[in-house]
Structure 1
Amino acid sequence: MRVVLADDERLSLIHLKSLLEKEIGGVEVIGMYSDPTLIIDMIGPLHPDAIFLDINMPEISGFEIAEQLQVLFPSIEIVFVTAYDDYAVNAFELSVIDYILKPVQLARLEKTVKRLQVRVDQKDKRIKTTEPLIGCFNHIYLQLPNNEPQPLKWRTSKAQELFAYLLHHRNRMIDRTTLIELLWGHLDHAARTAQLYTTIYQIRHTLKQSGITEVIISSGILEAGYRLSIGPNLLDIEEWEIQLKRLPLLTVQTIPEHVLVLDSYKGDYLSDYGYLWAESERERLRCLWLHHAENLEAFYTDSGLLHDAIHLNQLIHKMMPTHDGSYFNLMKHYDALGNRPAVEEQYWLLKTMLENEFGVSTVNPSVADWYNRWKNPTQHEL
């Protein structure tokens, strides 16, 4: 695993480098920076797996650097290293993989490296196939064998939606009237029929140009409609669901496999487009992901892996901001770690979310009761 270290204290850099390379092993420090202004410019050509980043640095903070890194180099994992323990909430809001305190202890650092190695291994296990992959997470994309995913370039938004709709109903004949009413219901009969034929032609041309000729749109002879079949090509949502169903029993040894499937869910089904007809499938897949995430979170909690549980709840926050259960979980985890400011902040964030999203100011009674007992333990003992 290749890492970069950034800290304005030179001795801290040397100490961390020694722990990683000599005490732990399996880690190569490929860059060390004490000037934070150089990090963004220098890190790109190095292609590190991770960066250990101090928060308190002159001129620019570690938080600002992390925000830029996550935009420019989203594959780089970030570990915050700091002498202060009151940055934890902000750190995990950025979805960094870990947060460790100075002076860095070897046992704590070993846990971080193991967590990093799992994440790096996951990225190395991307689906490798001899068949093209059609993607529907967030938006429609194409991944040819041994290539990075690329968006399909549609000539019009109608061509994009028509392809998405036929893909959504793949292997089923969809009558022309349904397609016309969906996309061109406002036009007269002659114009809407011409638009359908033109758009089908555009889709076939785009597919041919993209190199996925085995995706076929066939027109019915006896039935007046169109059917799309993907042939031997793979579909990311189908592959993800297959992997989810094949997961072994969750144990300490199988955690990496479960995390890999969890992280393979790259975003909601066709969410970038907001098609109403896709909402049912979108919600079904979201529920499958959330159920899996909650099972993994409960396992982390029961196993005493609180930092992993915190990181997973932050991921649930990011994927589903209105899921109130993750706020309560974080309150309890931060309480177990003795981080009172973080507990208070999560309760405030929960109330703010409920007011902004649902127009209510009342927190679930059981959560409010827990918080009040935590806030005023002496009062409740009387």
Structure 2
Amino acid sequence: MKAILVDDEHLPLMHLQKVLERDVAGIQVIGAYSDPLLAIDMVKTLQPDVVFLDINMPGISGLEIGEQLQLFQPAPEIVFVTGYDKYAVDAFELCALDYIMKPVQLKRLQKTIERLRDRIKSEQEVSVEAKPLISIKCFNHIQFQLPDQEPKVIKWRTAKARELFAYLLHHRNRMIDKETLIELLWPDCDLSKGVTQLYTTVYLIRQTLKQHGLGIVSITKGNLETGYRLSVGLVHIDAEEWENHALQLSPPTIHNAQVYERILEMYTGDYFGEYEYLWAEHERERLRRLWLQLAKNLSSFYVEQDMMQSATKVNQLMQQLHPLVEDSYFTLMKLYALAGNHAAVEEQYELLVSRWEQELDFPVTSEISTWYEAWRRETIQAP
């Protein structure tokens, strides 16, 4: 097993290296660094199995380094080595393998190495199975999809736990300070009570993720309790993947029309749409506009190609997902008129009027009402 040691004090660094190399079998020290920033770069380059980290260092603490190392792929195991026991809780919140007090004792170190061997063996057994990654679905409502299983909505202990998870997922891999989180979820609480509520809710989220086998998604706490970060590693997130596919589309043609349809169908609802979180509205509207633009482009192409059934299908989907967007009603009215389906034209217009008046308290635009009245006059006068 390969190890890197990090401690700004030379003597403890050399002592730990000597004990590991002389008295512990199966450990190879491939680097010992007193410069923590250099150590971060070397961990990325050398990819050790374990990093022994001092906590109290100038400029950047071992806890902060530990947070950065957890984002590496693959991430090394972390053992904190320090002369102070007050950081133990913070260390284990970072999912550290172990926490050793200075001066390092051989028997205590051997227990750590045995735990390291067990951890690596367990991870190797899991990796042999080569399971696909977890997927998190954000369209409409939060769902998780484990390997070889159908997507499922998990039951959160509280609505606040679900919203905090969603907010941290929205800002994934970024540290969000606790004051921002408290102001978002408990705006009427004083800071002390808000901190308690936040700690409890983070605990509930961790327990829920663990209960459902979602250990690859983790929440870590910043140094000196500055805030929290949700790390997702290589998890698939449907909204992110959908946007990547959508932005790669060229204008619709006969050759890529089916690709358009598949990408439109991948969008199963607005971003966190079921929960209507105000903080997600900008992203929700941005993705909604992108989807609508793709749908309108494909609809126009189908109409130009005289593929009326395909155009109808696209606009029906548009209406199903976004019932307050009038374009789909107007296009369907025209398509049904061309097909001679008078009842369907009437139905579309009445549906649009009722929805706009009830939901928006706003009349239908003059362009649509003028077209409809002209169509009715022509229909009535027709023999």
Scaled by the length of structure 2, what TM-score is found?
0.62
**Counterpart for residue 21 of structure 2:** none
Alignment identity in percent? 50
SS at the partner of 2:375? Answer: helix
Q: Deviations over 1:59-90 (max 9, x none)?
A: xxxxxxxxxxxxxxxxxxxxxxxxxxxxxxxx
Per-residue deviation at 1:264?
A: 0.5
Per-residue deviation at 1:249?
A: 4.2
**Aligned partners of 2:149, 2:240: CA distance in 1, in Å?**
20
SS at the partner of 1:226? Answer: strand
**Counterpart for residue 304 of structure 2:** 302
**Counterpart for residue 135 of structure 1:** 137
Q: Deviations over 1:189-208 (max 9, x none)?
A: 43322221121122122222
Per-residue deviation at 1:222?
A: 5.5
Structure 2 counterparts to residues 339-378 of structure 1, below 5 A = 339-361=341-363, 363-377=364-378
**Counterpart for residue 179 of structure 2:** 177
Per-residue deviation at 1:301?
A: 0.9
**Aligned partners of 1:300, 1:263: CA distance in 2, in Å?**
17
**Aligned partners of 1:375, 1:267: CA distance in 2, in Å?**
35
**Aligned partners of 1:157, 1:345: CA distance in 2, in Å?**
39
Q: Deviations over 1:261-291 (max 9, x none)?
A: 1000011111121211111111111111111
**Counterpart for residue 48 of structure 2:** none
**Counterpart for residue 229 of structure 2:** 227
Within the alignment, does 1:165 sit opposite 2:167 as a pair?
Answer: yes
1:208 to 210, 220, 235: 210
Q: Deviations over 1:286-320 (max 9, x none)?
A: 11111111111111111111112112212111111
Which 5+ residue runs of structure 2 have no aligned equivalent?
1-130
Q: CA 1:192/1:244 → structure 2, altered by over 3 Å: closer, same or farther? A: same
Counterpart code for 1:215: V
Counterpart code for 1:140: I
**Aligned partners of 1:296, 1:153: CA distance in 2, in Å?**
38
Per-residue deviation at 1:368?
A: 2.6
Per-residue deviation at 1:159?
A: 1.2
**Counterpart for residue 277 of structure 1:** 279
Within the alignment, does 1:243 sit opposite 2:249 as a pair?
Answer: no
Counterpart code for 2:242: W
Counterpart code for 1:155: R
Scaled by the length of structure 1, what TM-score is found?
0.62
SS at the partner of 1:134? Answer: strand
1:256 to 236, 251, 258: 258
Q: CA 1:338/1:277 → structure 2, altered by over 3 Å: closer, same or farther? A: same
Q: CA 1:378/1:277 → structure 2, altered by over 3 Å: closer, same or farther? A: closer
**Aligned partners of 2:248, 2:340: CA distance in 1, in Å?**
38
Within the alignment, does 1:154 sit opposite 2:156 as a pair?
Answer: yes
**Counterpart for residue 320 of structure 1:** 322
Q: CA 1:277/1:376 → structure 2, altered by over 3 Å: closer, same or farther? A: same
**Aligned partners of 2:353, 2:154: CA distance in 1, in Å?**
41
| Runs of 4+ with deviation above 6 angstroms | none
**Aligned partners of 1:257, 1:214: CA distance in 2, in Å?**
31
Q: CA 1:378/1:231 → structure 2, altered by over 3 Å: closer, same or farther? A: closer
**Aligned partners of 1:206, 1:379: CA distance in 2, in Å?**
63
**Counterpart for residue 116 of structure 2:** none
Aligned-residue CA RMSD (Å): 2.2
SS at the partner of 1:205? Answer: helix
Alignment size in residue pairs: 252
Per-residue deviation at 1:145?
A: 2.0
Q: CA 1:293/1:184 → structure 2, altered by over 3 Å: closer, same or farther? A: same
**Aligned partners of 1:141, 1:358: CA distance in 2, in Å?**
30
Counterpart code for 2:372: Y
Per-residue deviation at 1:158?
A: 1.5
**Counterpart for residue 292 of structure 2:** 290
**Aligned partners of 1:310, 1:350: CA distance in 2, in Å?**
16
**Counterpart for residue 75 of structure 1:** none
Q: CA 1:151/1:351 → structure 2, altered by over 3 Å: closer, same or farther? A: closer
Q: CA 1:145/1:221 → structure 2, altered by over 3 Å: closer, same or farther? A: same
**Aligned partners of 1:360, 1:245: CA distance in 2, in Å?**
33
**Counterpart for residue 105 of structure 1:** none
Counterpart code for 1:365: S
Q: CA 1:351/1:170 → structure 2, altered by over 3 Å: closer, same or farther? A: same
**Aligned partners of 2:262, 2:353: CA distance in 1, in Å?**
32
Per-residue deviation at 1:374?
A: 2.1
Counterpart code for 2:180: T
Per-residue deviation at 1:181?
A: 1.8
**Counterpart for residue 76 of structure 2:** none
Per-residue deviation at 1:369?
A: 2.6
SS at the partner of 1:218? Answer: strand
**Aligned partners of 1:184, 1:322: CA distance in 2, in Å?**
32
Which 5+ residue runs of structure 1 have no aligned equivalent?
1-128
**Aligned partners of 1:218, 1:379: CA distance in 2, in Å?**
69
